[in-house]
A and B are shown apart, each in its own frame.
Chain A
Amino acid sequence: MEMDFCLITGRTSKQGESREIGKATEKYRDNTAIVRLNEDDMEGLGLEEGSSVQVSTEAGSVTVKARKDNGLGRGVVFMPIGPWASKVVGGDTCGTGCSHAKGLSASLSNTDDNVKSLKEILAG
């Protein structure tokens, strides 16, 4: 199952708190290598809380864990900033120095892949 979404990246308090504990820690990965989405969208994709899900944009794709967030409307998903989200954000700044990291066209699909560690994600 694959569905199209509008992807937003941003800060969260847990991402901020755990980055200070250490970016190589499990806690940082647990709080950062995630995508939040509406309960109905989770159901549509056949995902449960904590299921692996592949997020793909024209910039690349990455496997993260699904987390329920009903503050998001249907069709909008959210990833905390960090090395995992950086895989799906493009580098075209349109001459401004700043690329788009919010409102990206993304597709999400069910996957059996595991979430990569920081070292693995940086290696390729």
Chain B
Amino acid sequence: MILKENVTCMFCGCLCDDLKVEVENGEIMDVKNACVNGRSRILNHNRERVENPKVRKDGELVDVSFDEAIQKAVNIIDDSKFPLIYGLSSTEVDAQRKAVELAERIGGTIDNTASFCHGPSILAIQSSGAQEATLGEIRNRADLLVFWGCNPVESHMRHPPRYSVTPEGMYISGRSDREIVNVDVRETTTSKMSDKFVKVDPGKDYELFSAMRAYLKGFDVGDAAGVSSNEIEELVEKMKNCNFGVIFFGLGLTLSSGIYVNIEGALDLVRDLNDHTKFAINPMRGHFNVTGANAVMSWTTGYPFGVNFSRGYPVYGPGEYTAMDVLVRKECDSVVVLASDPGAHFPASASSHLKDVPTVLIDPKKNATTHFADVVLPPAAAGIETGGTAYRMDGVPLELDKLVESDLPSDREILDRIIQKVEV
């Protein structure tokens, strides 16, 4: 039995890199230190796997060789006038670079899962700027944590014990040195962990940020967004008087009405708070390498998501070249899905177009998109069967581990084989 230590988890954006994994005869036997989601991902990595490449023939996906499946994918791309490449977030950085290279080579449109997630946060940050902090800095110094529109106890389970709520930091002894606030439209397990829960009316977050900024600037404020003026005053006073505060925000802000404007409200509040104390704001990123997808697209194209290469150079177009819009408007005539599952998570009005056009899926597991796919190319699982790099939710790159061997090629190798064959 081999014990692999300091293994990086590849479930969510926390990228906890202190896992211990027991490997025996090339199989993963146990995982320690992981949350239930990370443990499930690693221990179940062989369940529901696509074992062989597949091509749809007479309505059924049938096993074929990699050569045949890759040639079929190449034919689909070559015959396409408006190819869309989408996903990227559940694989490693070098595969993401290859996806951008493919998009550039074929003059296609490329988008990652951030567009239906924290894409609005990026739009707001591009407009207002953001004072972010690393999770290490936060663990060592932050004494006020505000979880706004997020529920880490369910979705980023080790964030509170490892980075934010209970760990011992350099200047923070533990839970008793920190105050925890939760702002949400509903009471969750995160509310129960918090010292203070503030219930905001659904869709009224921007109003609450505005009222808080007004109070901070010395104006009298009344009740706002379902929150009493006393609660607003108490909350702002806490934020003003802490030594180092952080707002962690989730999709409660980005997927509500207002979309990116909600985040602008939060960023403006944090900017104003920095006149009084040190305050930061960090998004709670979901897929383990969605932050990497934004980083890679930014280095290579200048833009974090929603990029079109049809003019021969990258053009940024949220709402224009973002996958949901392209699919809902039925503009693309082929789709390459890499390391994501729009069949499960996109609204039906978007995912239904995957049925209408040839779709190539590169993903280790059977998922909802498999039902729509015309070509399925199964890679080795990134972070389990191949190494690589991923970006933690605070933008810190970490190394992924190869835990066990696989006969399957990596995502980057599959993409490279497609790139070598497609027409320029």
Residues of A within 8 A of B (CB): 6, 8-13, 16-18, 20-25, 59-60, 71-73, 76, 78, 81-83, 86-87, 89-103, 118-119, 122
Q: Which residues of B contact A12 (CB under 8 A)?
A: 154-155
Instruction: Name the one of A11, A86, A103, A118 contacting B154, with C-beta atoms under 8 angstroms.
Output: A11
Number of interface residues of B (CB under 8 A): 67
Kindly state whether residue B328 has any CB partner on chain A within 8 Å.
Answer: yes
Q: Which residues of B contact A97 (CB under 8 A)?
A: 111, 115-116, 119-120, 305-306, 318-319, 322-325
How far in angstroms is the closest Cβ of chain B from A23?
5
Instruction: Name the one of B11, B117, B251, B365 contacting A22, with C-beta atoms under 8 angstroms.
Output: B365
Contact between B259 and A94, CB atoms less than 8 A apart: yes
Kindly state whether residue B289 has any CB partner on chain A within 8 Å.
Answer: no
Instruction: Name the one of A16, A95, A119 contacting B371, with C-beta atoms under 8 angstroms.
Output: A119
Contact between B259 and A103, CB atoms less than 8 A apart: no
Contact between A23 and B347, CB atoms less than 8 A apart: no
Known A87-B348, A102-B255; judge A96-B186 contact (CB<8 A): no
Known A78-B186, A91-B324; judge A23-B254 contact (CB<8 A): no
Known A78-B186, A94-B259, A98-B259; judge A11-B322 contact (CB<8 A): no
Contact string, B77-95, partner A, CB cutoff 8 A, digits 1/0?
Answer: 0000000000000000000
Contact between B347 and A8, CB atoms less than 8 A apart: no
Q: Which residues of A contact B172 (CB under 8 A)?
A: none
Contact between B37 and A91, CB atoms less than 8 A apart: no
Contact between B319 and A100, CB atoms less than 8 A apart: no
Contact between B260 and A118, CB atoms less than 8 A apart: no
Q: Which residues of B contact A8 (CB under 8 A)?
A: 185-186, 202, 252
Q: Which of B41-49, B65-73, B139-147 makes up part of the contact surface?
A: B41-49
Q: Which residues of B contact A17 (CB under 8 A)?
A: 36-37, 40
Known A13-B37, A20-B44; judge A76-B123 contact (CB<8 A): no
Known A93-B322, A98-B115, A102-B252; judge A22-B47 contact (CB<8 A): yes
Contact between B349 and A23, CB atoms less than 8 A apart: no
Contact between A83 and B366, CB atoms less than 8 A apart: no
Contact string, B95-121, partner A, CB cutoff 8 A, digits 1/0?
Answer: 000000000000000010001110110
Kindly state whether residue B27 has any CB partner on chain A within 8 Å.
Answer: no
Inter-chain CA distance A11–B250, complex, in Å, is: 11
Q: Which residues of B contact A72 (CB under 8 A)?
A: 186-187
Kindly state whether residue B56 has any CB partner on chain A within 8 Å.
Answer: no
Kindly state whether residue B32 has any CB partner on chain A within 8 Å.
Answer: no
Q: Which residues of A contact B12 (CB under 8 A)?
A: 16
Contact between B202 and A86, CB atoms less than 8 A apart: no
Contact between B40 and A16, CB atoms less than 8 A apart: yes
Supply 4 further A-B pairs (C-beta < 8 A) apart from A8-B252, A102-B256.
Answer: A6-B185, A23-B365, A95-B318, A97-B318
Contact between B324 and A102, CB atoms less than 8 A apart: no
Contact between A122 and B343, CB atoms less than 8 A apart: yes
Instruction: Name the one of B199, B202, B323, B368 contacting A102, with C-beta atoms under 8 angstroms.
Output: B202
Contact string, B240-264, partner A, CB cutoff 8 A, digits 1/0?
Answer: 0000000000011011110110000
Contact between B256 and A24, CB atoms less than 8 A apart: no
A selection of 19 A-B contacts at a CB cut-off of 8 Å is A8-B186, A9-B255, A12-B154, A16-B36, A16-B154, A17-B37, A17-B40, A21-B44, A72-B187, A76-B186, A82-B344, A86-B344, A90-B347, A93-B319, A96-B259, A97-B115, A97-B325, A98-B322, A99-B116
Contact between A21 and B324, CB atoms less than 8 A apart: no
Instruction: Name the one of A24, A78, A83, A87 contacting B48, with C-beta atoms under 8 angstroms.
Output: A24
How far in angstroms is the closest Cβ of chain A from B332?
14
Q: Which residue of A lies closest to B11 (CB)?
A: A16
Q: Which residue of B lies closest to A12 (CB)?
A: B154
Q: Which residues of A contact B257 (CB under 8 A)?
A: 100, 103
Contact between B154 and A73, CB atoms less than 8 A apart: no
